[in-house]
Amino acid sequence: MLALESPFFLGEQKGKKIAFQALLIEDYTKEINIDVNKNTDYLCLGFRNKPGANLVLLRTKDVINIVSKPFEVKEIVEHIKVKEEIEFNG
What are 20-59's pLDDT values in tens digits?
Answer: 999 999 999 999 999 999 999 999 999 999 999 999 999 9
Q: Does 90 reside within a domain?
A: no
Q: Does 52 reside within a domain?
A: yes
- pLDDT at position 79 over 90: yes
Q: Does 63 reside within a domain?
A: yes
Q: Does 89 reside within a domain?
A: no
pTM: 0.88
How many structural domains are present in the chain? 1
Q: 17 lies in which domain range?
A: 2-84
Say how far apart CA 1 and CA 40 lie, in whole Å: 14
Q: Does 70 reside within a domain?
A: yes
Q: Which among 18, 14, 15 is positioned nearest to 1, based on CA atoms?
A: 18
